[in-house]
Amino acid sequence: MANRFMGETTAQADGNNWTLRCDFNAMAAFEEATGKDAMTAFEAAEQGDVSVLDLRHLVRACLLRHHPDATLCDAGDVLSHDIGVVERLIAASMPTAGEAAELGNGQALAAPETKPG
């Protein structure tokens, strides 16, 4: 089952089930592989203005958590079979405030106590 807060979704390609996770590790893997800012690439993907090369690197980076041996070819196969996986992945990585709160990730931090001076 996909984890909405961690930004997980699934796809099928060539008879294989793939789980993609968009987390800090995936963003770092993307940046390491491309030398490009991951947040900028995600924003470009969300707007449909991302290069094919970056899109393939992005998907591969998101495959690595559950499929550490995933290749760029695997990522390309996933995209070829299910281009909507990127849209679902982006949506999954941005839960609403209500969804985040239900997962225990939406609580406001308490202000630090100050000592009388």
**pLDDT tens sequence across 55-70:** 999 999 999 999 999 9
**Identity (one letter) of the amino acid at 13?**
A
Residues in the chain: 117
Q: Look at residue 4 in the predicted model and tell me its pLDDT.
A: 47
Residue 41 corresponds to which tokens in the numbers above? 């690439």
Q: Look at residue 88 in the predicted model and tell me its pLDDT.
A: 92
Residue 108 falls within a domain, yes or no?
Answer: no
Residue 113 falls within a domain, yes or no?
Answer: no
The residue range of the domain holding 53 is 11-102
Residue 35 falls within a domain, yes or no?
Answer: yes
Residue 68 falls within a domain, yes or no?
Answer: yes
> What is the count of structural domains for the chain?
1
Reported confidence tier of residue 73, pLDDT bands at 50, 70, 90: very high
Residue 88 falls within a domain, yes or no?
Answer: yes
Residue 51 falls within a domain, yes or no?
Answer: yes
Round to whole Å and give the CA distance between 64 and 45: 19
When the pLDDT of each residue in the chain is averaged and rounded to a whole number, the result is 84
Q: Residue 9 CB: number of other CB atoms within 10 A? A: 24
Question: Torsion over CA of 106, 58, 2 and 93, rounded to 10 degrees?
Answer: 20
Answer with the residue of higher pLDDT: 48 or 6.
48
Residue 19 falls within a domain, yes or no?
Answer: yes
Reported confidence tier of residue 7, pLDDT bands at 50, 70, 90: confident
Residue 54 falls within a domain, yes or no?
Answer: yes
- Report the run of H or E that residue 32 belongs to, with start and end: helix 24-34
End-to-end CA distance of the chain: 52
Asked whether the predicted pLDDT for residue 77 surpasses 90, the reply is yes
